[in-house]
Amino acid sequence: GYKASVFEEDYSKRKLSRKKSLNKILIKMVISIFLLLVLMYFSMGEMFAWPLFNLSSINLGIEMGLTLIIMVIFFDYFKKGFKGLFSLHPTMESLVSLGSLVSFAYGIYAFVKVILAEKIGDMEIIHHWRHNVYFEAGAMILVLVSLGKFLEAVAKDKTTSSLEHLFSLAPDYAIVKKGEEYIETAVKDLKIGDLIIIKPGDGIPIDGKIVEGYGYLEESALTGEPLPRYKKVGDHVIGGSINQNGFFIFEVTSLGKDTVLAKIINLVEEASSSKARLASIADKVSSIFVPIVIGISILTFIIWYFVGGKDVEQAIMFAVSVLVISCPCALGLATPVAIMVGTGKGAENGILIKSAQAFESLSKVKTIAFDKTGTLTSGHLKIIDYKIVSKEYEEIDSIIYSSEVKSNHPLSMSIVQYFENAKTPKIEVQNFENLPGHGIKSIYKGQEVYIGSEDLMKKIGVKEKLLVGSENSSTLVYVAIGQKLVAFIELVDTIKIDTIEAVKKLKELDYRLVLISGDNELATSALAQKVGIDEHYANVKPNEKQVKVHELQVGGNLVAMVGDGINDAPALESADIGIAIGTGANVAIESADIVLMNPSLMDLVNALHLGRKVVKNIKMNLFYAFIYNVIGIPLAAGVFFSAFGLALNPMIASGIMSISSLTVVLNALLLKKTKLYKKEKEVSK
């Protein structure tokens, strides 16, 4: 079978690669900061009367050498920057490398002037040029920009690392039952079908299904659920959760990349690397912005040197300051860091957001459509009546049980549980078929067996009068063999503990709420009234759910669809944003943009709240970046120099630029502090 270790090994490699990359940057930073401090000692030594060599040319030669080493350390800036320039797609690296190189080139020019002045002993010229060397500026630009990037990398690593502890929750070894033997086995050697023994206090090593016993599982790290959940035979367990009480045996069902834990981490990483529409706009602005800045820098030099009559060094200082201060780092970071932090925050609370675009959709949605069973209700239906109306088939219990066991619809699972409790024997049925929105079909001894809704019975031509349920909110499932009605089952569902509270909160936030159900009008309207949803549609087939979503979208309305079943998949795909309840069918989860790992609908409220917060944070970051450049570029260009004497040298400009990038990162990190609504505390039974 697929080894459990494959995904973990792959993830560990990526984690190791990330750490190596971070350590590499750290080493570069330590060396370059040390060299910069030595460089600053030589460049500022005369000012503070520090011990230096007698000849200025020797001091300047050391400065040039130190700057050159720093430039070699950060050679990537020059490589990427000039590649962008030559391909006519200048980048942030283009501005940094140009600023640093111009400062260095001018430093060499001043250095030559000092050497020539020393030969003739002209102290005035030596003094003049000695204080107009910009070696330290060229080095400082690279070091400060890299420091900003290092701090960004640390922030990103911190966000990504917030999920890494999940792997440590699952033990490395498991007790496997083989016949009458109990063998300790490494998790990486487990295979699908292995039986694992779990005692109180044990961590669940891998995903599986309980085949014997029960337990109370603490899943807070994976789903955000604060209290343990009761799990019995037939229930699924997730690797990484902890058994607080009870003893059970479970069968391994998923390994490696197919486990819930692996999918959570993959989703977070994919969402973090995806791009939102706002990020694409920022990228387009950056692509236009860089050439404009280079143009402004050249124009600044021309105006100050040829029109303003300033010295060449003064004109160069203004031009280089423009290049450095206007680095579009803040603009480029505004969206991705916020998306990364928001995705991590969601994952920590059981809200898996699959793409960056989902955040924008969440912030704009005004209409929310709900499925009924398993979404507003618990999906744990209880049979309150089961009647056999034809004595023709003695094994009718086994026919129903053996057909329903092949379906994963909530109704089917409740029916299966009923017959399992009654110790009903299984028999062989063939050609099982799912009839979305209607029920199921199978073949028994050459005869067609239909189990499903009133509509299905009418469709296949059942002549008998169909019975009505005893309760308004009950659901009736009919059983027919051929065209003959043989039995009916009446089930009732319970409303999830916090559905009413969640609906109330959503109405307060002015969302239009719609219930779309395949159930009958009586059951659908009764539930809508109980939970407080004013608009509902009953007897809606799966393909009609999709049509209904399209109808709700008329006029440009953005619609979110919330569901959990196979028949919700088309509607989830069609909605502007599909939200799946994580306890539902895999196909629904695959079709959705967001997965709520916990069945609580308060997580829907939290997802919408988080979406608005992230988009607000992105817009705030973009605003900061815009204002920073609107003020910074004119200041660096010397617009306020003549009137107020305000000017920036390249060192200060690079420092301000780094602070602007850091401000954006720190603002995005504030999303970690976002307060989410508390869920009702309940042990799921």
DSSP H or E segment with residue 319: helix 312-325
Contacts of 172 (CB under 8 A, 6+ apart): 186, 187, 205
576-611 CB burial, b ≥16 within 10 A, e <16: bbbbbbbbbbebbbebbbbbbbbbbbbbbbbbbbbb
Whether 584 and 522 map to the same domain: the answer is: yes
In this structure, are 520 and 573 located in the same domain? yes
Residue 447 lies in a domain: yes
**CATH code assigned at 553:** 3.40.50.1000
Q: Which two tokens stand for residue 392?
A: 């023709």
**Nearest partner of 413 among 292, 192, 235, judged by Cα:** 235
Residue appearing with tokens 């630009």: 141
pLDDT tens-place string over residues 230-249: 889 988 898 888 898 899 99
Tokens 């699908």 locate to 192
Q: Determine contact, residues 114/56, Cβ cutoff 8 Å.
A: yes
Cα separation of 313 and 32, whole Å? 26
Is residue 87 helix, strand or coil?
coil
DSSP character string of 57-75: HHHHHHHHHHHHHHHHHTH
194, 202, 207, 371: the catalytic one is 371
Q: Are residues 529 and 455 in the same domain?
A: no
Among 458, 476, 492, residue at a domain's last position: 492
On whether residue 271 sits in a domain, the answer given is: no
The rounded distance, in Å, linking the Cα atoms of 302 and 318 is 10
Q: Does 512 have pLDDT greater than 50?
A: yes
Q: Of 468, 492, 516, which residue constitutes the final position of a domain?
A: 492
Q: C-alpha angle with apex 262: 348 to 596, nearest 5 degrees?
A: 45
Rounded-to-integer distance, Cα 28 and Cα 22, Å: 10
Q: Which of 161-165, 480-484, 556-560 has the lowest mean pLDDT?
A: 161-165
Mean pLDDT of the chain: 83
364 with 423, same domain? no
- CA angle 491–496–501, rounded 5-degree value: 140
Question: Tens digits of per-residue pLDDT, 537-586?
Answer: 998 877 788 899 999 999 889 999 998 765 677 888 889 999 988 655 45
Residue numbers of the domain that contains 399: 382-492
Domain count, the chain: 3
Domain containing residue 218: CATH number: 2.70.150.10
Tell me, yes or no, whether 633 lies in a domain: no
> Is residue 564 a contact partner of residue 575, using CB atoms and an 8 Å limit?
no
Closest CA to 561 of 550, 548, 575: 575
Q: How far apart are CA 135 and CA 106, in angstroms?
A: 8
Between CA 449 and CA 497, with CA 211 as vertex, the angle to 5 degrees is 80
Residue 223: its pLDDT value, please?
63
Q: Check whether residue 393 and residue 371 sit in a common domain.
A: no
Of 556, 588, 607, the residue that ends a domain is 607
Looking at residue 548, its amino acid is K
Q: Looking at the domain assignment, is residue 401 inside a domain?
A: yes
* pLDDT at position 158: 65
543 and 460 in a single domain? The answer is no
Tens-digit pLDDT profile for residues 600-652: 899 999 999 999 999 999 889 888 888 888 898 999 999 998 888 888 877 67
Report the distance separating Cα 576 and Cα 395, nearest Å.
47
Has 576 been annotated as catalytic? no
Backbone angles phi, psi at 377, to 5 degrees: -105, 170
Say yes or no: 499 and 603 in one domain.
Answer: yes
pLDDT attached to residue 162: 57
On whether both 542 and 445 belong to a single domain, the answer is no
Looking at residue 447, its amino acid is Q
Q: State the Cα angle at 256 between 178 and 244, rounded to 5°.
A: 65
Phi-psi region for residue 558, left (φ > 0), alpha (ψ -120 to 50) or beta?
Answer: beta
Q: Is 0.75 surpassed by the pTM of this model?
A: no
